[in-house]
Structure 1
Amino acid sequence: MARFYQSQPPSAPPAPEGYGWGEPYPAAPQTNYGGQTNYGYPSFPPGTPPNVVQSFQMADRDRSGFIDERELQQALSNGYQRFSLRTIRLLMFLFKNPMDPLRIGPKEFTELWSCLGQWRGVFERFDRDRSGKIDATELKDALYSLGYALPQSVLQVLLSRYENASSRRVELNFDSFVECGMVVKGMTDKFKEKDPRYTGSATISYDAFMSMIIPFIVQYDD
């Protein structure tokens, strides 16, 4: 059986220059960001860059120390660009706070921000014509570089989400690229839990299969 991923678990995407969105940042004093902030927030990880803290604080208007999907959309827009709610909901699912699945705190937000910065580095590396979009071939190459060897049939199903009647060529902006990449990564990670030896096959029950797939279908919908 063909493997949809390489025999070894893919490493994390290489980080771009700087941090997060590819912009350099001054080192944050750990004493300021490693514990409670002036606003009474739960702890940010030690060394969290000031721009990440600021983006979170600006979105958290009620000073609860947590942000919901609308606030997350605003926070990420402050950092780089506006993400669709569909992508935001997927990110909320993948980086959810175990104590509050409808909101994320500073720790989850910092991890998410860093992850998006890594995906941005991959996107820019494979956007060879610097158009701000990548086509099907570039998407396949980008995913393969991360260890996801998707067959053409699976790739077409993934891209069908973004087909436009006015154009026969599917191109993805960064928002859609993140959505595709995180769906592939998330579902592959779930499958690997059932295939710890990385054989490309696993025996699972119907209930387990549905439990793996349904959350992605629901979160991935409009």
Structure 2
Amino acid sequence: MTSYSVRMSGYGQPPGQPYYQQQQPTHGAPAYAQQPAYQHASPGRVQAGGPPPGADPTLWSWFVAVDQDRSGQISADELRQALTNSNWSYFNPETCRLMINIFDRDHSGTINFQEFCGLWQYLQQWRATFDSFDTDRSGNIDQRELQTAFQRLGYSLSPNFTRLVLSRFDTQGHRALKLDDFIQCCVLLHMLTDSFRARDTQKRGVIQINYEDFMTMTILGKP
């Protein structure tokens, strides 16, 4: 099978847990609660029996509100109906699927309350990170801000690559990324970098890879 030599110069050391995860989580309303995103649920409504022992009652009430079919699990579609960007648009479906997959430990395609708590904290950290790079407070990350974000997150990437990423993940056509676009972009970049690093055993920034392996890495983002 044909092999290809791929060079990825200076891909840095993307942290296993990004630097912003070292911060304390923001308490209070979750990211999606900062704007009224609920259509058919009340965040104060709690299922019979109340929250599990030791659970945060506020998080439990949000979990119940998002769990519209009362299954005890939250799907990507349900999550999307609860999350909004600063311009009131709902999160894009792919970002919601990515986040569900990250916290879906039992591979059910949905998340339970415990997994939801992890996702809630994850969202708070992403919003704090997004806000730290949105230096002009526009509610979007433009090319200059995205280039800075990549550098701060440990990636040595060219401005040309940043422009390419921006054109790929900009879902609003404004040459800027909303919060959901930014999360999707950074998560996929991290996954692909992990896949590359797993193959770059000599840490030279160069790998040799066959065609199917390359396709698996780029499509699935897996080592």
TM, length-normalised to structure 2? 0.70
Give yes or no for contact 1:73–1:83 (8 Å, CA) kept in 2. yes
**Given the alignment, which residue of 151, 156, 161 partners 1:144?**
151
Q: CA deviation at 1:215?
A: 2.8
Task: Spell out, residue by residue over 1:29-61, the C-alpha distance to the aligned partner (whole angstroms, 9 max, x if none).
Answer: xxxxxxxx96599x7xx9764433322221223
1:157 alignment partner in structure 2 = 164
**Are 1:91 and 2:96 an aligned pair?**
no
Q: What's the C-alpha RMSD, in Å, of the aligned pairs?
A: 3.4
Q: CA deviation at 1:137?
A: 0.9
Q: Distance in 2 between matches of 1:199 and 1:86?
A: 33
Q: CA deviation at 1:96?
A: 3.4
Q: Distance in 2 between matches of 1:90 and 1:57?
A: 21
Identify unmatched segments of 5+ residues in structure 1: 24-36, 217-222
Taking a change above 3 Å as real, the CA distance of residues 4 and 16 of structure 1, as seen in their structure-2 partners, is farther
Task: Spell out, residue by residue over 1:95-152, the C-alpha distance to the aligned partner (whole angstroms, 9 max, x if none).
Answer: 334431x222233322222222112111111111212112101011012111122222
Taking a change above 3 Å as real, the CA distance of residues 75 and 188 of structure 1, as seen in their structure-2 partners, is same
Deviates further, 175-184 or 103-112: 103-112
Task: Give the aligned residue type for 1:86.
Answer: E
Mapping 1:140-219, distance limit 5 Å? 140-161=147-168, 162=170, 170-195=175-200, 198-215=203-220
Q: Distance in 1 between matches of 2:110 and 2:93?
A: 14
The list of structure 1 runs, each at least 4 consecutive aligned residues, that deviate by more than 6 angstroms after superposition, is none
Task: Give the aligned residue type for 1:139.
Answer: L
Taking a change above 3 Å as real, the CA distance of residues 177 and 191 of structure 1, as seen in their structure-2 partners, is same
**Given the alignment, which residue of 70, 88, 96 partners 1:63?**
70
2:60 alignment partner in structure 1 = 53
Task: Give the aligned residue type for 1:155.
Answer: T
What secondary structure does 2:136 align onto? coil
Q: Distance in 1 between matches of 2:199 and 2:71?
A: 38
Identify unmatched segments of 5+ residues in structure 2: 1-6, 34-46
Deviates further, 145-154 or 195-204: 195-204
Q: Distance in 1 between matches of 2:171 and 2:56?
A: 38
Q: Distance in 2 between matches of 1:134 and 1:190?
A: 26
1:3 alignment partner in structure 2 = 9
Taking a change above 3 Å as real, the CA distance of residues 201 and 185 of structure 1, as seen in their structure-2 partners, is same
Give yes or no for contact 2:75–2:110 (8 Å, CA) kept in 1. yes
1:116 alignment partner in structure 2 = 123
Taking a change above 3 Å as real, the CA distance of residues 113 and 200 of structure 1, as seen in their structure-2 partners, is farther
Q: Percent identity?
A: 34
Taking a change above 3 Å as real, the CA distance of residues 163 and 22 of structure 1, as seen in their structure-2 partners, is closer
TM, length-normalised to structure 1? 0.70
Q: Distance in 2 between matches of 1:114 and 1:59?
A: 16
